[in-house]
Each structure stands twice: as structure tokens, then as C-alpha cells.
């Protein structure tokens, strides 16, 4: 007669093998990483580009989808209480959502290059709020949404660009160097004149 403990060991090994097989075959849901600018500032009436890219270990297919939603930061807006879908991209086509954005939002990314960016034109003051970018690339379906705070401002409120700041800094430095050179030349001439005067005596 076969020992009882032998049967228990065999059953334990069998169940362990089955469990490992299930884990390796099904596996955990893969994660997708989404990137977006934290803040975008644009002038009222111009075009706002909201960038969104993603990393996925899976190949991009027709099943890859993108959802852009918007939540206003203005309490009197209909989009204040919760995010609303403004654009959905699937099977190579973009489908605008809410009427407020229907004729102003456009998909400008390249899904095959893992780019899910959109543009909003013209940007309006009512667009102030948070835009969320969510990408699904089965089986990569879990991940944190990209989020961008959009600030639509008047032209006078736009921050100076880095280029302008650099140009002003360079011009200031040149003026300072010229002033130092003039002062140095003047000092040299005064000293030279003093030596000539003392030599003549």
C-alpha cells in the first residue's frame, strides 16, 4: 500500500504546478506610462497644443484608443463638477465630444509614434482648467492619466520667453563691457598725461 504522506506530497506538487501555470499564462495586467506637460499658457484666441505621449511594451494597433477629458476650474461652468470627454480616438479616427469643443479640438498626434497630442483653436477663457489624456493599448490598459493645466490669458499676461530674457541679458552685458572699456581708456589717458607732465618738469 502506498504511504498516505506520498499521496499528499503528489497532490501538493500538482496543485502548485497548476497555480504557477495560471500565473504565467494570464499574468498581471501590463501598465502604460503617459506623459503630458504639467502646464500650458496661451494667449486668448490663439492655438493651444496639448502634448501627450506614452510608453507601452505592446505594439500599437487599431485597438489602441485615446480619451481626452476636460474639467473646468470655473465654478459657473457646466464642466466644473466632473471631467467631460472632449475627444475620443480609436481605430485611426478621432471623434470630438462635447459641443463646446466639437469644432475647436483636433487630434494632431501620430498614434503609431505613441503621440496622442491635440490642439485647441481658438483657445478661449472658458478653457481654463485641467485636461486629462488617457491611453489604452491592450493589454497595456492600466496607468495614470496625463494631466495638463491650461491657462488662457490676455497678451499682456503672457510671461516673457527665454529668448527675450537671453537677448536682454546679452545686451546688458555688452553695454557694461563698453562702459568698462571707456572708463579704462580714460584712466590710462589721465595717467599718461600725468607722466608726460611730470617728465616735462
Domain boundaries, the chain: 30-157, 160-201
pLDDT at 162: 53
Task: Return the residue matching grid coordinates 562702459.
Answer: 179
Architecture of domain 30-157: Sandwich (2.60)
**Which secondary-structure segment (H or E) carries 196?**
helix 162-200
pLDDT at 23: 36
Q: Classify each residue of 13-51 as buried b or exposed e, where b means 16 or more C-beta atoms within 10 Å of its C-beta.
A: eeeeeeeeeeeeeeeeeeebebebbeebebbeeeebebb
How many residues comprise the chain?
Answer: 201
Coil, strand, or helix at residue 56? coil
With contact defined as beta carbons under 8 Å apart, do 40 and 152 qualify?
A: no
Residue where the block lists cell 488617457: 134
Burial of 150 from C-beta contacts in 10 A (0-12 / 13-18 / 19+): buried
Q: Each residue's pLDDT tens digit in the chain (201 positions)?
A: 444 544 453 455 344 443 334 333 344 456 899 999 999 999 999 999 999 999 999 999 999 999 999 999 999 999 999 999 999 999 999 999 988 999 999 999 999 999 999 999 999 999 999 999 999 999 998 889 999 999 999 987 666 555 556 566 666 777 887 877 788 777 777 777 776 666 665
Q: Report how far residue 65's alpha carbon sits from residue 44's, in angstroms, rounded to the nearest whole number.
A: 30
Torsion of CA 174, 176, 182, 188, to 10 degrees: -120
Q: Which residues pair with 41 in a beta bridge?
A: 151
Structure-block grid coordinates of residue 139? 493589454
Amino acid at each position: 500500500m502506498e504511504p498516505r504522506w506520498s499521496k499528499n506530497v503528489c497532490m501538493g506538487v500538482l496543485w502548485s504546478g497548476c497555480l504557477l501555470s495560471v500565473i504565467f499564462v494570464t499574468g498581471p495586467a501590463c501598465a502604460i506610462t503617459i506623459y503630458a506637460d504639467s502646464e500650458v499658457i496661451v494667449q486668448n484666441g490663439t492655438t493651444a497644443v496639448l502634448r501627450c505621449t506614452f510608453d507601452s511594451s505592446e505594439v500599437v494597433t487599431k485597438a489602441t484608443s485615446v480619451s481626452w477629458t476636460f474639467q473646468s476650474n470655473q465654478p459657473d461652468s457646466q464642466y466644473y463638477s466632473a471631467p467631460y470627454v472632449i475627444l475620443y480616438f480609436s481605430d485611426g479616427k478621432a471623434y470630438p465630444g462635447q459641443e463646446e469643443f466639437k469644432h475647436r479640438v483636433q487630434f494632431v498626434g501620430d498614434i503609431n509614434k505613441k503621440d496622442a497630442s491635440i490642439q485647441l483653436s481658438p483657445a478661449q477663457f472658458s478653457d481654463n482648467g485641467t485636461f486629462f489624456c488617457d491611453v489604452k493599448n491592450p493589454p497595456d490598459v492600466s496607468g495614470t492619466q496625463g494631466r495638463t493645466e491650461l491657462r488662457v490669458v490676455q497678451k499682456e499676461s503672457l510671461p516673457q520667453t527665454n529668448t527675450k530674457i537671453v537677448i536682454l541679458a546679452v545686451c546688458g552685458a555688452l553695454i557694461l563691457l563698453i562702459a568698462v572699456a571707456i572708463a579704462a581708456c580714460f584712466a590710462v589717458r589721465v595717467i599718461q598725461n600725468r607722466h608726460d607732465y611730470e617728465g616735462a618738469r
